[in-house]
Amino acid sequence: MKRITVLGGGSWGTAVAMSLASKGIEVHLWDIDREHTRSMIEERENKKFLPGAPFPETLQVDMEEEEAVKGSDVVIFAVPAQFFRSALEAAVPLLKKEMIVVNVAKGIEIGSLCRLSEIAGSMIPENPYVVVSGPSHAEEVCKGMPTTLVAASRDRAVAEEIQDLFISDVLRVYTNDDVVGVELGGALKNIIALGAGICDGLGYGDNAKAALMTRGLAEIKRLGAAMGADPMTFSGLSGIGDLIVTCTSMHSRNRRCGIMIGEGIDTKTAIENVGMVVEGIYTCQAAYEMAKKYKVEMPIVTGIYQIINENKNAADAVRELMTRKRKHESEPDFITRNSL
């Protein structure tokens, strides 16, 4: 038995805490919003984000971060990607070097264009670090519905330790050593989910969504390859798995936000209507800049960026994507084969 801390009482952080606690593990949950934390203590459930899902007995909610972290073996960060740096900075004085740090957020820091493992590497280089990702809506995990995840770390033994910690009869966990690929897949699929929602909002059908997902995955793979990721990772849970669930489910806040944008609602209002952080909005800006930095062609990401940030008409953006210069589906492979 281990003592586990989850920092972040949003929907996913709470679902992770509940899943671990349901195994009889001592889990401590903390959130920076004191009113929200107090509500969870009093109600024994997260009425704000996961109403109707009572906490297991072994899940304890703490008012103070120090009390939550003290004596834990594993500290799980479940805060929005854009707040990961500040959350980690606040926790550093509380972290012992032997504590395993796990991150379950999905995103890229705007401005620095850092992946979250890069932020952790610069601030807590001696702590073992694992990223957990995959197709996992909190609304289903908290109810014990079957789910699969991937735990990625450069240290296989540490990844396997987190695999053993998370795994249960309803939660299957695989391991991977491609931290770059797992992080990029989990982050970039949110952009494509925004696009899928925009297609839905415009009234387009299944054909358009299938095309968007497939060609969006091709763009993710291209950027991933340029950044040193293993292309095979994007065929796994953190790639196509997470892409499918986020582009097709109404649990997806990115898809819901995209639907409203496609219907003509401005981006700011759409985000406010979702009522939670829409990571794809931030990741889209970061990916647009990364595409230029690594000289990678990402027309879908560019189109979504223009819709969100430059008020481009969504239907016009789709029309431009459809009328681009014709090309082979696997252009690099085609060129290689025909040059032999």
The residues that are catalytic are: 189
Q: Which residues pair with 129 in a beta bridge?
A: 101
Return the structure tokens found at 307: 């819709």
What residues contact residue 62 under an 8 Å CB cut-off, 6+ apart? 28, 29, 30, 37, 68
Q: Which residues pair with 28 in a beta bridge?
A: 5, 60
Inter-residue contact 241 to 216 (CB < 8 Å): no
Inter-residue contact 224 to 183 (CB < 8 Å): no
- CA contacts within 13 A on the Cβ side of 301: 28
Return the structure tokens found at 160: 């396997």
Query: Three-class SS of residue 33?
Result: coil
Return the structure tokens found at 146: 């079957």
Task: Tell me which amino acid residue 324 is.
Answer: R
Return the structure tokens found at 276: 């939670």
- CA contacts within 13 A on the Cβ side of 186: 30
| Measured distance CA(46)–CA(44) in Å, rounded | 7
Our measurement of the distance from residue 107's CA atom to the centroid of its chain's CA atoms, rounded to an integer in Å, reads 6
| Measured distance CA(251)–CA(247) in Å, rounded | 10
Alpha-carbon torsion 129, 282, 261, 304, what sign? negative
Inter-residue contact 167 to 218 (CB < 8 Å): no
